[in-house]
């Protein structure tokens, strides 16, 4: 299914109404305590993010983050010594992200811009970055391939590394949506996944990709030899999680940790892609 008929304004409205992770803390939005709790919760539930981003690796380097949201990863890049250009479609998200940079005295290290990633060069001047990073974003835009074209044409050179997370189609999450919300109606799977892919229902666009599809997409847009890694299954009972308690669903309590990690690495929701541009040669993108 293609979501090319969905307007970018619909996407913008969705994220303005509830910026991603905004409810990760019950504290006053914008306070230091709020930001600390948001970060702690995010990386507790998704510890693979730090492994994927490798924040410390980019000290003294230039990082372009596409889809910064309320700035959790952004702050960690800057805190580690990177010079960051961070863009997002949502003004409401950017307001919180800018406040976060002020609270932690990192505003001088981050240049926030409002931008549509499909037309990024209209806002961010074309120039090379050491890292182009996007976590859970380009699958929510009508034409993800246009984002890759923007990155390849304007921001990635031979030395650049591109790290992008998209959702994995062959995942436990997709199966749960199909059986739980879709009641087995596989012919409507893309619609159900889009609607239930995020904490707030009704997301207008959510593409999913198998590792093979992702590698093919990246290769077609100037990033051959992309490496893919699957991770992340959410094991907590939602009724407790929204009350800031971390109680696992019974079936996950019974699963041995080594087997749970095997499931995450094979059927996780997050498909983490690391790539280098065509002119970087045929070596490993890592």
**Contact of 223 with 282, CB cutoff 8 Å:** no
- Tell me the per-residue pLDDT of 60-102, one tens digit each, with 9 for 90 and over: 999 999 999 999 999 999 999 999 999 999 999 999 999 999 9
Angle between helices 32-45 and 91-103 (to 10 degrees): 110
Q: Does 39 reside within a domain?
A: yes
Count of structural domains within the chain = 1
Q: Does 96 reside within a domain?
A: yes
Q: Does 21 reside within a domain?
A: yes
Distance, CA of 283 to CA of 286 (rounded, Å): 9
- Tell me the per-residue pLDDT of 235-252, one tens digit each, with 9 for 90 and over: 999 999 999 999 999 999
The widest CA-to-CA distance across the chain, in whole angstroms, is: 52
Residue 278, pLDDT score = 78
Cα atoms in the Cβ-side hemisphere of radius 13 Å centred on 90: 26
**Contact of 154 with 126, CB cutoff 8 Å:** yes
**Residue 81 sits in a domain of what CATH number?**
3.40.50.150
64: left (phi over 0), alpha (psi -120 to 50) or beta: beta
- Tell me the per-residue pLDDT of 179-230, one tens digit each, with 9 for 90 and over: 999 888 888 899 999 999 998 899 999 999 999 999 999 999 999 999 999 9
- Tell me the per-residue pLDDT of 109-153, one tens digit each, with 9 for 90 and over: 999 999 999 999 999 999 999 999 999 999 999 999 999 999 999
- Supply the mean pLDDT for the chain: 95
Q: Which long-range contacts (CB under 8 A, 24 or more apart) does 3-6 make?
A: 3/142, 3/194, 3/204, 3/205, 3/206, 3/207, 4/142, 4/143, 5/142, 6/142, 6/204, 6/205
Query: Using 50, 70 and 90 to split pLDDT, how confident is the model at 284?
Result: very low
Q: Does 76 reside within a domain?
A: yes
Termini Cα distance of the chain: 31
Residue 238, pLDDT score = 94
Instruction: Please check the confidence at residue 285 and state whether its pLDDT lies above 60.
Output: no
Q: Does 207 reside within a domain?
A: yes
Query: Using 50, 70 and 90 to split pLDDT, how confident is the model at 1?
Result: low
Rounded to an integer, the average pLDDT of 252-264 is: 97
Q: Does 239 reside within a domain?
A: no
Instruction: Please check the confidence at residue 48 and state whether its pLDDT lies above 50.
Output: yes
For 242, counting Cβ atoms within 10 Å of its Cβ (0-12 exposed, 13-18 middle, 19+ buried), the class is exposed
Distance, CA of 155 to CA of 123 (rounded, Å): 13
Instruction: Please check the confidence at residue 163 and state whether its pLDDT lies above 70.
Output: yes
Task: Please provide the size of the chain in residues.
Answer: 286
Residue 281, pLDDT score = 52
Query: Using 50, 70 and 90 to split pLDDT, how confident is the model at 46?
Result: very high
**Residue ranges of E strands in the chain:** 62-66, 83-88, 110-114, 131-135, 161-168, 208-209, 227-231, 270-275
135: left (phi over 0), alpha (psi -120 to 50) or beta: beta
Residue 9, pLDDT score = 97
Q: What's the pTM? A: 0.95
Provide the residue range defining the domain that includes 119.
8-168+202-231+270-277
For 4, counting Cβ atoms within 10 Å of its Cβ (0-12 exposed, 13-18 middle, 19+ buried), the class is exposed
Q: Does 264 reside within a domain?
A: no
Q: Does 189 reside within a domain?
A: no
């Amino acid at each position: 299914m293609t979501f090319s008929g969905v307007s970018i304004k619909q996407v913008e409205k969705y994220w303005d109404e509830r910026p991603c992770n905004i409810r990760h803390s019950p504290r006053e939005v914008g306070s230091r305590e709020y930001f600390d709790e948001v970060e702690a919760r995010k990386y507790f539930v998704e510890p693979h993010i730090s492994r994927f981003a490798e924040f410390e690796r980019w000290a003294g380097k230039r990082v372009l983050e596409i889809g910064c949201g309320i700035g959790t990863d952004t702050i960690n890049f800057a805190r580690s010594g990177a010079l960051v250009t961070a863009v997002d479609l949502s003004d409401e998200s950017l307001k919180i992200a800018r406040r976060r940079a002020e609270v932690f005295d990192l505003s001088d290290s981050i240049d926030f811009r409002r931008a549509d990633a499909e037309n990024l060069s209209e806002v961010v001047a074309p120039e090379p970055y050491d890292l182009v990073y996007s976590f859970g974003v380009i699958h929510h835009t009508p034409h993800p391939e246009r984002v890759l074209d923007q990155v390849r044409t304007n921001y990635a050179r031979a030395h650049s590394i591109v790290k992008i997370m998209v959702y994995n189609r062959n995942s436990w999450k997709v199966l749960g949506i199909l059986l739980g919300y879709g009641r087995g109606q596989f012919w409507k799977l893309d619609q159900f996944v889009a609607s239930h892919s995020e904490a707030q229902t009704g997301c207008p666009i959510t593409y999913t990709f198998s590792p093979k599809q992702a590698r093919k997409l990246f290769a077609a847009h100037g990033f051959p030899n992309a490496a893919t890694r699957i991770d992340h299954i959410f094991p907590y009972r939602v009724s407790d999680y929204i009350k800031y308690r971390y109680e696992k669903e019974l079936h996950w309590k019974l699963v041995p940790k080594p087997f749970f990690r095997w499931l995450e690495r094979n059927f996780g929701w997050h498909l983490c892609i690391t790539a280098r541009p065509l002119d970087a040669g045929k070596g490993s993108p890592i």
